[in-house]
Structures are given as structure tokens and as C-alpha cells.
């Protein structure tokens, strides 16, 4: 029998009302929202009633998506579904760390709040942009990026999609270069050039913040965005490195499958990861849980 991987959504799929049905129908999910409100008053209200503009602010997005992600995972576990592996895309990795027991829920939530503050500050001080590039292999995208200053592949999402970060003044010429190579580039609606050297100050700040945090061994293996392998060694260093280095999502999914995963359950908001898993390997099953209907059908 195959194994189950829980994958935690990242920033970008947030929407007004996220997590509300699980809050109303799952005691385990409600406990996560209550914890978030005890640390950061109004988090649940932002998730349920916040405007799109309010939720798009990194300092709000990260704690809110974390809460919706972890609440969905706990609702799935409450149904008796046992995960064998976990991974999260970008900020989703912090929710995976809480689910796995590496951090307590409150420690992880405080960490993601600080992460959002630091990344927002870095984005303001080092402005940049991100482009999703389709129809080109990663090595060709790397080759094109090398011809531009301060331009980096930052999310290796699937064989069909890689995201790059760059300076604002490079955007038009970079998009034209991808088009000339028979690819297609779409600018992402994000507030910074995440997972790149643009975030170096945020990574250092987060490392300093974690100095007093103690980490536990995971109950469920968590695959690192930075290494694409289960967490081992210096957990603090892995969390720091994740902020300013590429997310190797395709490799994470491939490694989970190699380790026996044949069912992926995306927990949190949207279906981005569900779609990416399907593009990486069509032989495995990928489903999402973000509302009551999903939870009942799982």
C-alpha cells in the first residue's frame, strides 16, 4: 500500500473566507484558529472577513495562510487519516514543521509572523519582481537568467513551470528574452522577489530570531524546500536558507514518490500544489482539502 503526503499551500492562493467552514465544523481546526488569535488578535477575522487587499499584504498573508493550512491538516488528521510525509511550499513549510512536531503550534505561528514582517521589510528595501515562466526547460531558463544582472530562478515548480526573481527594470527585457526562446512569462502579483538574494537580510533576521527556539525531532518527516530531502542536521539553518534560496518543489515531490508516496493531500488554500503534483507525475493521486465538502469526501 502506498503512503500519504500532506502538502501545505503557500502564499498567493489566499481569499476572503478561507478556513471558515473548517473552523465551524472541526474542533481540531477551530483550536488552531483560537491559538492564532491568542497570539495575534484578529487573525481569524482577517481570514474570514479580510479584503483581498488586506490579505495580500505579506505581514497578513503569512500568518493567515499558515493558520488555514495547519487547521486543514489537523481536520484531516481528526478524520483518522495518517500522513507519512509532509512538505510545504514556501511559508507552507512552517505549517508543516508545526504539524510534524518540530515546532509547537505557537512557536511556529510566532515564527511565521516574524518571517512575514522581515520579508515585507526586505521587499521594501530591495524591491524586485517575479515572473512565472512556462514552456521552457529549467536549464534554458537558467541560461537566460545568467544574461541579466540580479536575476535568479527561485521556484522549480514542475517540468513546465519555473519562477524567476529579478529587478523591476529587468522585467520587460527578461520577458522578451523568454518569449524569443519560445517560452511564455507571466508576472506574479507579489510584493517582493522572494526566495532570492533580495531576501538576504530577512534570512539573517530570521536566523537571529530563532536563536532561542528549541527544535524537536519530527514525528512525520518534513521535506525541506532548500534540500528537497527530509529535515536533518541544523534545522535553524534550513529555515534560514529557505527564505533566500530556491524552492525545489519538483524535486520534493519526486523524492516523496521515490520514498513511497502515491497520494498527495493539499491542505490549506487553493489547489496550486494539487495541480503541480499532477504535472510532475500523472500516476499519483492528488486532492485538496480546504473546506467542509473536501473534508467529507477525503
* Active-site pick, 158, 195, 196, 224: 195
Does 119 score more than 80 pLDDT? yes
CATH number (domain holding residue 116): 3.40.366.10
Prediction pTM value? 0.96
Same domain, 115 and 236: yes
Same domain, 207 and 91: yes
For residues 272 and 13, the answer to whether their CB atoms sit within 8 Å is: yes
Strands 285-289 and 261-267: parallel
Q: pLDDT band at 212, cuts 50/70/90?
A: confident
Same domain, 203 and 112: yes
Q: In what order do the strands lie in the sheet with 3-8?
A: 85-88, 3-8, 261-267, 285-289
Same domain, 40 and 175: no
pLDDT value at position 1?
65
* Active-site pick, 90, 158, 196, 224: 90
Percentage of the chain surpassing pLDDT 90?
97
| pLDDT (tens digit per residue) in 145-173 | 999 999 999 999 999 999 999 999 999 99
Which residue range forms the structural domain that includes residue 175? 129-187
Domain total in the chain: 2
Q: pLDDT band at 13, cuts 50/70/90?
A: confident
Q: Is 195 one of the catalytic residues?
A: yes
Same domain, 30 and 153: no
Q: Is 224 one of the catalytic residues?
A: no
* Residue that terminates a domain, selected from 187, 214, 232: 187
CATH number (domain holding residue 141): 3.30.70.250
Same domain, 225 and 138: no
Same domain, 164 and 278: no
* Residue that terminates a domain, selected from 168, 187, 206: 187
Sign of CA dihedral 201, 62, 285, 87: positive
* Residue that terminates a domain, selected from 139, 158, 187: 187
pLDDT value at position 12?
87
Amino acid at each position: 500500500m502506498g503512503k500519504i503526503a500532506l502538502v501545505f499551500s503557500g502564499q498567493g492562493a489566499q481569499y476572503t473566507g478561507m478556513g471558515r467552514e473548517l473552523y465551524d465544523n472541526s474542533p481540531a481546526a477551530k483550536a488552531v484558529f483560537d491559538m492564532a488569535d491568542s497570539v495575534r488578535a484578529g487573525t481569524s477575522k482577517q481570514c474570514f472577513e479580510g479584503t483581498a487587499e488586506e490579505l495580500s499584504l505579506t505581514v497578513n498573508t503569512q500568518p493567515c495562510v499558515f493558520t488555514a493550512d495547519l487547521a486543514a491538516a489537523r481536520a484531516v488528521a481528526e478524520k483518522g487519516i495518517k500522513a507519512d510525509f509532509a512538505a510545504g511550499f514556501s511559508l507552507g513549510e512552517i505549517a508543516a514543521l508545526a504539524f510534524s512536531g518540530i515546532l509547537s503550534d505557537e512557536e511556529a505561528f510566532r515564527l511565521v509572523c516574524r518571517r512575514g514582517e522581515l520579508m515585507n521589510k526586505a521587499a521594501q528595501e530591495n524591491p524586485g519582481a517575479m515572473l512565472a515562466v512556462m514552456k521552457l526547460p529549467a536549464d534554458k531558463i537558467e541560461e537566460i537568467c545568467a544574461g541579466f544582472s540580479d536575476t535568479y530562478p527561485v521556484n522549480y515548480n514542475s517540468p513546465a513551470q519555473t519562477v524567476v526573481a529579478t529587478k523591476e527594470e529587468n522585467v520587460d527585457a527578461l520577458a522578451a528574452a523568454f518569449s524569443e526562446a519560445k517560452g511564455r512569462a507571466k508576472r506574479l502579483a507579489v510584493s517582493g522577489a522572494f526566495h532570492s538574494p533580495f531576501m538576504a537580510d530577512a534570512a539573517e533576521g530570521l536566523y537571529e530570531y530563532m536563536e532561542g527556539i528549541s527544535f524537536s525531532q519530527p514525528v512525520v518527516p518534513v521535506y525541506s524546500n532548500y534540500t528537497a530531502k527530509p529535515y536533518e542536521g541544523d534545522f535553524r539553518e534550513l529555515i534560514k536558507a529557505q527564505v533566500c534560496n530556491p524552492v525545489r518543489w519538483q524535486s520534493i515531490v519526486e523524492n516523496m514518490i521515490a520514498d513511497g508516496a502515491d497520494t498527495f493531500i493539499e491542505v490549506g488554500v487553493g489547489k496550486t500544489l494539487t495541480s503541480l503534483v499532477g504535472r510532475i507525475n500523472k500516476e499519483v493521486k492528488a486532492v485538496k482539502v480546504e473546506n467542509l465538502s473536501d473534508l467529507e469526501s477525503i
